[in-house]
Amino acid sequence: MTILKNSFYLVLSALMLVACSSNKTVSNQGGQQFGAGATEKGAITYESLVEKMNKTNEMPAKVTGKISEVCKVKGCWMTMVSDKPGTPEMRVTFKNYAFFMPMDIVGKTVVIDGVAAVETIPVADLRHYAEDAGKSKEEIAKITEPKRELTFEAAGVLIKN
Protein backbone atom coordinates (compact mmCIF):
# COMPACT_ATOMS: atom_id res chain seq x y z
CA MET A 1 0.00 0.00 0.00
CA THR A 2 2.88 2.38 0.78
CA ILE A 3 4.35 1.88 -2.71
CA LEU A 4 0.97 2.67 -4.27
CA LYS A 5 0.60 5.76 -2.07
CA ASN A 6 4.12 6.99 -2.91
CA SER A 7 3.50 6.37 -6.63
CA PHE A 8 0.28 8.36 -6.42
CA TYR A 9 2.08 11.34 -4.80
CA LEU A 10 4.88 11.17 -7.35
CA VAL A 11 2.42 11.24 -10.28
CA LEU A 12 0.39 14.01 -8.60
CA SER A 13 3.55 16.11 -8.08
CA ALA A 14 4.59 15.67 -11.70
CA LEU A 15 1.14 16.73 -12.92
CA MET A 16 1.20 19.82 -10.70
CA LEU A 17 4.59 20.86 -12.05
CA VAL A 18 3.38 20.53 -15.63
CA ALA A 19 0.13 22.38 -14.89
CA CYS A 20 1.90 25.25 -13.15
CA SER A 21 4.46 25.83 -15.89
CA SER A 22 2.32 28.13 -18.06
CA ASN A 23 5.27 30.32 -19.01
CA LYS A 24 6.30 28.45 -22.15
CA THR A 25 9.97 29.24 -22.65
CA VAL A 26 12.69 27.64 -24.72
CA SER A 27 16.35 28.65 -24.65
CA ASN A 28 18.51 28.32 -27.73
CA GLN A 29 21.62 29.93 -29.18
CA GLY A 30 19.60 32.91 -30.45
CA GLY A 31 18.03 33.63 -27.06
CA GLN A 32 14.96 32.70 -25.04
CA GLN A 33 11.67 32.07 -26.82
CA PHE A 34 8.25 32.52 -25.25
CA GLY A 35 4.78 31.59 -26.48
CA ALA A 36 4.71 30.52 -30.12
CA GLY A 37 8.29 31.72 -30.38
CA ALA A 38 9.71 34.21 -32.84
CA THR A 39 12.73 34.33 -35.10
CA GLU A 40 14.70 37.28 -36.42
CA LYS A 41 14.02 36.31 -40.05
CA GLY A 42 11.82 38.94 -41.67
CA ALA A 43 11.64 41.19 -38.60
CA ILE A 44 11.40 44.94 -39.15
CA THR A 45 12.70 47.60 -36.77
CA TYR A 46 10.39 49.26 -34.29
CA GLU A 47 10.92 52.56 -36.13
CA SER A 48 9.73 50.93 -39.41
CA LEU A 49 6.61 49.64 -37.66
CA VAL A 50 5.78 53.11 -36.34
CA GLU A 51 6.10 54.49 -39.88
CA LYS A 52 3.90 51.72 -41.36
CA MET A 53 1.25 52.24 -38.66
CA ASN A 54 0.81 55.85 -39.84
CA LYS A 55 -1.05 54.33 -42.83
CA THR A 56 -3.17 51.67 -41.08
CA ASN A 57 -4.87 50.89 -37.77
CA GLU A 58 -3.89 47.21 -37.60
CA MET A 59 -1.43 44.81 -39.23
CA PRO A 60 0.37 41.54 -38.56
CA ALA A 61 4.08 42.17 -37.94
CA LYS A 62 7.36 40.79 -36.69
CA VAL A 63 9.29 43.56 -34.97
CA THR A 64 12.63 43.96 -33.24
CA GLY A 65 13.26 46.61 -30.62
CA LYS A 66 14.43 47.48 -27.11
CA ILE A 67 12.43 46.93 -23.91
CA SER A 68 12.16 49.88 -21.51
CA GLU A 69 9.72 48.50 -18.94
CA VAL A 70 8.12 45.22 -17.85
CA CYS A 71 5.08 44.74 -15.62
CA LYS A 72 6.48 44.54 -12.08
CA VAL A 73 3.61 42.37 -10.85
CA LYS A 74 4.04 39.31 -13.08
CA GLY A 75 5.55 40.27 -16.44
CA CYS A 76 2.18 40.39 -18.21
CA TRP A 77 3.17 43.34 -20.47
CA MET A 78 6.27 45.18 -21.60
CA THR A 79 7.04 48.47 -23.30
CA MET A 80 9.10 48.75 -26.49
CA VAL A 81 10.95 51.97 -27.28
CA SER A 82 13.16 53.46 -29.93
CA ASP A 83 16.56 55.11 -29.67
CA LYS A 84 15.20 57.72 -32.09
CA PRO A 85 13.98 60.80 -30.15
CA GLY A 86 10.28 61.60 -30.45
CA THR A 87 9.24 58.02 -31.29
CA PRO A 88 6.32 56.93 -29.08
CA GLU A 89 6.62 53.85 -26.90
CA MET A 90 4.50 50.77 -27.56
CA ARG A 91 2.84 48.51 -24.99
CA VAL A 92 3.19 44.81 -25.80
CA THR A 93 0.78 42.27 -24.32
CA PHE A 94 0.68 38.53 -24.88
CA LYS A 95 -1.95 36.64 -26.85
CA ASN A 96 -4.57 34.94 -24.67
CA TYR A 97 -2.50 35.87 -21.59
CA ALA A 98 -0.68 32.60 -22.39
CA PHE A 99 2.81 33.61 -21.23
CA PHE A 100 4.67 36.32 -19.34
CA MET A 101 8.09 37.95 -19.61
CA PRO A 102 10.93 37.80 -17.09
CA MET A 103 11.01 41.08 -15.18
CA ASP A 104 14.76 41.55 -15.67
CA ILE A 105 14.77 42.21 -19.45
CA VAL A 106 14.72 46.02 -19.37
CA GLY A 107 17.30 47.23 -21.88
CA LYS A 108 17.35 43.96 -23.82
CA THR A 109 16.47 43.59 -27.49
CA VAL A 110 13.55 41.34 -28.41
CA VAL A 111 11.75 40.12 -31.50
CA ILE A 112 7.96 40.05 -31.20
CA ASP A 113 5.62 38.31 -33.61
CA GLY A 114 1.93 39.16 -33.63
CA VAL A 115 -0.44 42.02 -34.44
CA ALA A 116 0.16 45.76 -34.12
CA ALA A 117 -2.82 48.07 -33.66
CA VAL A 118 -3.62 51.70 -32.92
CA GLU A 119 -6.12 51.72 -30.05
CA THR A 120 -7.72 54.09 -27.60
CA ILE A 121 -6.78 52.85 -24.13
CA PRO A 122 -9.46 53.51 -21.46
CA VAL A 123 -8.55 55.39 -18.27
CA ALA A 124 -9.12 52.27 -16.14
CA ASP A 125 -6.58 50.31 -18.19
CA LEU A 126 -4.07 53.17 -18.14
CA ARG A 127 -4.38 53.36 -14.35
CA HIS A 128 -3.98 49.58 -14.09
CA TYR A 129 -0.78 49.72 -16.17
CA ALA A 130 0.54 52.58 -14.03
CA GLU A 131 -0.17 50.60 -10.87
CA ASP A 132 1.59 47.53 -12.34
CA ALA A 133 4.56 49.76 -13.17
CA GLY A 134 4.83 50.86 -9.54
CA LYS A 135 3.67 54.46 -10.04
CA SER A 136 2.59 56.47 -7.00
CA LYS A 137 -1.07 57.03 -6.11
CA GLU A 138 -0.64 60.69 -7.04
CA GLU A 139 0.70 59.79 -10.51
CA ILE A 140 -2.16 57.32 -11.04
CA ALA A 141 -4.77 59.91 -9.97
CA LYS A 142 -3.49 62.29 -12.68
CA ILE A 143 -4.59 59.83 -15.38
CA THR A 144 -8.00 61.22 -16.33
CA GLU A 145 -8.19 60.90 -20.13
CA PRO A 146 -8.08 57.89 -22.46
CA LYS A 147 -4.98 57.71 -24.63
CA ARG A 148 -4.66 56.74 -28.28
CA GLU A 149 -1.51 54.67 -28.73
CA LEU A 150 0.27 51.98 -30.68
CA THR A 151 -0.14 48.53 -29.08
CA PHE A 152 1.03 45.04 -29.94
CA GLU A 153 -0.38 41.62 -29.10
CA ALA A 154 2.48 39.12 -29.35
CA ALA A 155 1.89 35.44 -30.03
CA GLY A 156 5.61 34.83 -29.61
CA VAL A 157 8.69 36.59 -28.27
CA LEU A 158 12.42 36.02 -28.70
CA ILE A 159 14.68 37.67 -26.13
CA LYS A 160 17.97 38.02 -27.98
CA ASN A 161 21.27 37.14 -26.27
CA–CA separation, 56 and 118 (whole Å): 8
- Kindly report the backbone phi and psi dihedral angles of residue 102, in degrees, each rounded to the nearest multiple of 5, phi listed first: -60, 145
Could you tell me the domains of the chain?
Answer: 23-160 (2.40.50.140)
Q: In this predicted model, what pLDDT tens digit does every residue of 98-145 receive, in sequence order?
A: 999 999 999 999 999 999 999 999 999 999 989 988 899 999 999 999
Would you say residue 71 has pLDDT above 80?
yes
Is the pTM here over 0.75, yes or no?
yes
In eight-state DSSP terms, residue 137 is: H
Is 37 or 158 the better-scoring residue by pLDDT?
Answer: 158
